[in-house]
Amino acid sequence: MRSTTDRSAFFSGLRACAPFILVVVPFGMLFGVLASEAGWDFVQILAMGFLVIAGASQFAALQLIGEQAPFLIILATSLAVNLRMAMYSASIAPHIGPAPLWQRALAAYMLTDQTYGVAINHYTMHPNEPWTRKVAYFFGAITAICPAWYASTLAGAVVGQAIPGEFALDFAIPITFIALFAPALRSLPHLVAAVVSIVVALNLAWMPYNSWMLVAAAVAMVAGALTEVWVERRGA
């Protein structure tokens, strides 16, 4: 960090994201365990965990591979699940855009639901903060989350089936997303998108290869965008 204030911002981001370690660890362990049970070797599990760093798409890909789904279905589903990362990037770009290329590249690589949720809430509350502090805050959030993800994935790969089923590690998945995005549902477009995605997903759960996720995501985004346009016109 280049100054005392940047160091302060770094540790603020670290503290803000630290509570999510409680759900990231079982989330990562669960992926390691399930991948091990599916027959993946140690190198394959670590490669997926270190290269992708996107738990939701990793679980989706793991399930589809287990179902021997066509490669294009696996690719399309993984991309659809991770499409939110493109929106995350566009959202934080105005805040960390002036940073050097290597910092922006590292931020893009380590962008997760937790780091984004914590960072964008901070940026919203401190819009006039210097970009150096915003970058420092984001890297503090990264430091709390990414090493925990790597370590827990490694632990899950090592212990494999040794974790008793009654531990029910899959609780971490819904808790993570509820904790991150429930506080953000403060506008009508967000609420409409959330409700539409739930309704469509539940009604299309019969579709094969988790393709209901592609449809639900697309319909929810359209519904949210149309609602935002309607709200703006009504306000005008």
Residue range 159-182, pLDDT digits in tens: 765 656 555 555 555 665 665 566
How far from the centroid of its chain's Cα atoms is residue 64's Cα? 19
How far from the centroid of its chain's Cα atoms is residue 29's Cα? 16
Q: Say if residue 45 is in the same domain as residue 99.
A: yes
Q: Say if residue 111 is in the same domain as residue 172.
A: yes
Are the beta carbons of 164 and 60 closer than 8 angstroms?
A: no
In the predicted structure, residue 137 carries a pLDDT above the cut 70: yes
Q: Say if residue 102 is in the same domain as residue 216.
A: no
Mean pLDDT of the chain: 83
Residue range 51-86, pLDDT digits in tens: 888 777 888 788 788 778 888 888 887 887 787 788
Which structure tokens are listed for 207? Answer: 């579709």
Are the beta carbons of 211 and 67 closer than 8 angstroms?
A: no
Residue range 206-229, pLDDT digits in tens: 887 767 877 887 888 889 889 988
Q: Say if residue 134 is in the same domain as residue 191.
A: no
Would you state the pLDDT for residue 1?
Answer: 47
Would you state the pLDDT for residue 4?
Answer: 76
Q: Say if residue 140 is in the same domain as residue 195.
A: no
Last residue of a domain, which of 150, 168, 184?
A: 184
3-state DSSP assignment of residue 63:
helix
Q: Would you state the torsion angle of the CA atoms of residues 85, 86, 91, 97, taken in this order, to the nearest 10 degrees?
A: 110
Q: Say if residue 108 is in the same domain as residue 203.
A: no
Rounded to two decimals, the pTM is 0.72
Which structure tokens are listed for 150? Answer: 């790597």
What residue numbers bound the domain in which 145 lies? 4-184
Mean per-residue pLDDT, 15-24: 90
Contacts for 184 with CB less than 8 Å, ≥ 6 apart:
117, 121, 190
Q: Say if residue 79 is in the same domain as residue 92.
A: yes
Give the whole-angstrom CA distance, residue 234 versus residue 193. Answer: 19
SS3 content of the chain, % helix, strand, coil (to 5): 85, 0, 15
Q: Say if residue 138 is in the same domain as residue 206.
A: no
Of residues 196 and 75, more confidence is placed in: 196
Q: Say if residue 9 is in the same domain as residue 19.
A: yes
Backbone angles phi, psi at 182, to 5 degrees: -60, -45
Mean per-residue pLDDT, 137-158: 91
Residue 90, amino acid: A
User: In the block, which residue shows the tokens 């994935």?
Assistant: 153
Would you state the pLDDT for residue 182?
Answer: 65
Give the whole-angstrom CA distance, residue 223 versus residue 204. Answer: 17
Residue range 97-136, pLDDT digits in tens: 999 999 999 999 999 888 998 999 999 888 889 999 999 9
Q: Say if residue 76 is in the same domain as residue 106.
A: yes
Q: Say if residue 168 is in the same domain as residue 196.
A: no
State the total domains in the chain. Answer: 2
Q: Say if residue 173 is in the same domain as residue 129.
A: yes
